[in-house]
């Protein structure tokens, strides 16, 4: 015979299963609405690109007006972004289906282990990229330091050249003025009557 505890437990399990099904159906409906909205925007952007390629102006409907006001590069970036988002949502839906198909604890354990390994691998890759970025930043700092040093040396050399030019100019100017003074003095001395 079934005990009251067994009946209550099975009834509770049925209710939880029913609520889970309703929740998953609502979630799938929401996901499909978002998917449809993204797909509509993607189709509209592609139509605007086709109109632009043909040299025509798209109709001035709500979405078309906004999309036609975007630059071609911005439209292409948005199209690529929407395509990636749609792919991610499709993956999420298919992966979600995989979770719903799990009936055994072993399958769930294997799937969780796979996810853990993937996360650990991604973490390692992230750490490696972070180290590469740090090394590049250090190299950039060294290069900036060398650039500043070379700029300072260049300015010092320019100052030295200016000082030399001024010194050469003043030394050349000084003897000429003395020579003129001496010649003028001699000439005036010669023309003085004793």
What is the SS3 assignment for 179?
Answer: helix
Say whether both 89 and 156 belong to one domain: no
Nearest to 92 by CA among 34, 39, 31, 40: 31
Say whether both 13 and 94 belong to one domain: yes
Instruction: Decide which of 62, 84, 101 is a domain's last residue.
Output: 101
Q: What is the mean pLDDT of residues 28-41?
A: 84
**Cα distance between residue 78 and residue 44, in whole Å:** 11
**Residues 6 or more apart in contact with residue 108 via CB below 8 angstroms:** 102
Q: Is residue 108 part of a domain?
A: no
Give the predicted TM-score (pTM) of the model: 0.40
Say whether both 89 and 132 belong to one domain: no
Say whether both 132 and 72 belong to one domain: no
Nearest to 42 by CA among 89, 7, 9, 98: 89
In contact, 38 and 82? CB cutoff 8 Å: yes
Say whether both 55 and 144 belong to one domain: no
Query: When comparing pLDDT for 169 and 96, which is higher?
Result: 169
Q: Strands, E, within the chain: which ranges? A: none
The pair of three-digit structure tokens given for residue 120, joined into one six-digit string: 């650990």
Say whether both 21 and 79 belong to one domain: yes
Say whether both 94 and 11 belong to one domain: yes
Say whether both 91 and 13 belong to one domain: yes
For residue 187, the model assigns a pLDDT of: 47
Q: How far is CA 178 from the centre of its chain?
A: 70
Range of the domain at 28: 4-101
Say whether both 8 and 88 belong to one domain: yes
pLDDT digits (tens, 9 = 90+) for 120-133: 888 888 888 888 89
In contact, 55 and 33? CB cutoff 8 Å: no
């Amino acid at each position: 015979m079934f005990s009251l505890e067994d009946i209550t437990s099975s009834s509770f399990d049925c209710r939880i299963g029913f609520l889970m099904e309703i929740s998953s159906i609502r979630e799938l409906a929401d996901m499909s609405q978002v998917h449809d909205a993204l797909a509509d925007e993607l189709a509209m952007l592609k139509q605007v690109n086709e109109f632009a390629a043909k040299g025509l102006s798209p109709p001035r409907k709500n979405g078309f007006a906004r999309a036609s006001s975007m630059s071609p590069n911005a439209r292409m970036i948005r199209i690529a972004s929407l395509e990636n988002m749609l792919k991610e949502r499709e993956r999420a839906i298919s992966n979600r289906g995989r979770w719903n198909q799990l009936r055994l604890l072993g399958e769930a354990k294997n799937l969780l282990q796979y996810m853990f390994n993937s996360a650990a691998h991604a973490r390692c890759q992230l750490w490696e990229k972070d180290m590469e970025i740090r090394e590049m930043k250090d190299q950039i700092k060294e290069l900036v330091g060398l650039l500043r040093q070379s700029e300072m040396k260049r300015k010092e050399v320019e100052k030295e050249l200016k000082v030399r030019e001024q010194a050469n100019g003043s030394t050349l100017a000084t003897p000429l003025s003395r020579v003129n003074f001496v010649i003028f003095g001699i000439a005036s001395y010669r023309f003085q009557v004793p």
